[in-house]
Amino acid sequence: MAPQFLKVIGAVCVVLVLAAIPARSQEDVATKEELEEVEGALEGLLESSAEYRGYVDALRKIKISGYLQPQYRNAVVMDQAYPIGSFSGGLFPQYTKSMFQVRRGRLKVTYDNITTQMVLQVDVTERGVGIKDAYLWISDPWVRMFALKMGVFDRPFGYEVAFSSSARESPERARVTQTLFPGERELGAQLTFAPQLGPLSFLKADLAVVNGTGPTATEFDNYKDIIARASAIFPLEDAGAEIDVGVSGYFGAVRRTTKQLYSMGTTSTGVPGWVADRDTVSLGAGIDRQYFGTDMQVYYDMPLLGGTILRGEYVFGKQPGGATISISYALPPTGGMYQRDFNGWYVYLVQNVGTSFQVLAKYDIYDPNTEVEAGDFVQGSGLTYADLQYSTLGLGLLYHFDENVKFILYNEFVRNEKVPSTSPSSLAAYRDDVRDDVLTFRIQYRFP
């Protein structure tokens, strides 16, 4: 019985095995087709991944930054016969002594490819949209000491011109800086020498050739201006301090477009003043625009209190302008041209108090015409308010709310040179100090 039963069981197993063979073969065929489909899908994913990785790598090279400066300003008076606020964030309109405004709204995009960069920055305010930066930067890939920049960029003169408005402690630059370098930027090309390593790594030198008309104006003569600056950094680590020094030069010209070129001398009435040169042979000649400057910054970590910054700059030279303006030309000169010898300087004292507060005192002087004194502003001199010396004392308190937000409360006490009672009626307002102090409250948001 048992052997027969075993035979039956064996026969059943053989049948089951034989029945299973075709099914297993079909499963093998299906599995192979599925594997081929999976392999194809994986290859597609790998190709897509490589493509997306290229997009991600490109996006990583794009850096976006910016800052916004909404503010409120208040002047002490309004409707006066003299300008108020021109160097404190913009002129106050008639019938206005207070105003809200967006002083700066910057958005900057940088494509950084290690040895090359493309930078675009715009300024968006209630007054419209304007270009601030638009340049290419190329570094040499061999010794990493030289770089070429071309487009619209900061003028390489002094310290305050290129000092970012998002980091600067005072709301605005000094009067002398705004007069000589309105808009701060320029259109041209610049070569930079800045070793990253080695014994010369403390040095930096810039040499730029520019139009001389500012960041957005079209060139109006064939003269190109040269700007040069050399600076050095001396860290004093044992003393918790650092000293930065720099020297700058500006060598340019503005085309003479009029017969009337005025320079300082003795007028026909026998007083110091403007004397006209009517030499028509010199039409089209270049009128010198030359500046020389030196600057220094001292940083010291004050024990128990915080960092202390002492910063100063002195500039002097020759500045062509008009009868009532000494600001640098952005458009072709019209009317008579006036050649002035000037000087100006500023000094900052910034004291950190803890990690959130800063106290600021700033003093600056701009003398657009160093060849005259207050008593020279008399009838027949031809002198105007563009020849007056100004001094400004600024006192401020800064509060860093967090890494993005900063509050600034700042008051400017502006003083002008007082002219004598014998001055022309056009200068009557300046026989005393005009009331042009300005209070600024600003909130800044900066990212990243």
* Overall average pLDDT of the 293-317 stretch: 95
Which pLDDT score, from 0 to 100, does residue 77 have? 95
Mean pLDDT for the chain overall: 91
* Overall average pLDDT of the 61-78 stretch: 97
Strands 405-416 and 438-447: antiparallel
What type of residue is 225? D
Q: What is the pLDDT of residues 26-51, one digit of tens each?
A: 455 557 777 777 777 777 777 777 77
Q: How sure is the predictor about 7, in pLDDT bands with cuts at 50, 70 and 90?
A: low
181 vs 402: CA distance, rounded Å: 32
CATH code of the domain occupying 64-447: 2.40.160.10
Which pLDDT score, from 0 to 100, does residue 4 have? 57
Report pTM: 0.88
Q: Contacts by 227-234 with C-beta closer than 8 Å and gap 24+?
A: 227/155, 227/156, 227/157, 227/186, 227/251, 228/156, 229/156, 229/157, 229/158, 229/205, 230/203, 230/204, 230/205, 230/206, 231/203, 231/204, 231/205, 232/202, 232/203, 232/204, 233/202, 234/202
236 vs 268: CA distance, rounded Å: 59
Asked if 368 and 389 touch (Cβ cutoff 8 Å), the reply is yes
* Overall average pLDDT of the 129-146 stretch: 95
- Among residues 445, 396, 371, the alpha carbon closest in space to that of 69 is found at 445
101 vs 442: CA distance, rounded Å: 10
Q: How far is CA 254 from CA 25, 263, 438, in A?
A: 93, 15, 33
* Overall average pLDDT of the 261-266 stretch: 94
Run of H or E including 285: none
Which pLDDT score, from 0 to 100, does residue 388 have? 98
Q: What is the pLDDT of residues 145-195, one digit of tens each?
A: 999 999 999 999 999 999 999 999 999 999 999 999 999 999 999 999 999
Asked if 385 and 324 touch (Cβ cutoff 8 Å), the reply is yes
CA 271 centroid distance within chain = 43
User: Has residue 2 got a pLDDT over 70?
Assistant: no
Run of H or E including 179: helix 175-180
DSSP 304-360: TTEEEEEEEEEEEEEEEE-SS--SPPSS---S-EEEEEEEEEEEEEEEEETTTEEEE
Which residues on neighbouring strands pair with residue 319, listed in sequence order? 340
207 vs 193: CA distance, rounded Å: 9
Q: What is the pLDDT of residues 345-393, one digit of tens each?
A: 999 999 999 999 999 999 999 999 999 999 999 999 999 999 999 999 9
User: Has residue 22 got a pLDDT over 60?
Assistant: no
Buried b (16+ CB within 10 A) or exposed e, 99-111: eebebbbbbeebe
* Overall average pLDDT of the 397-401 stretch: 98
**Number of residues that this document lists for the chain:** 448
Q: What is the pLDDT of residues 322-345, one digit of tens each?
A: 999 999 999 999 889 999 999 999
User: Has residue 8 got a pLDDT over 50?
Assistant: no
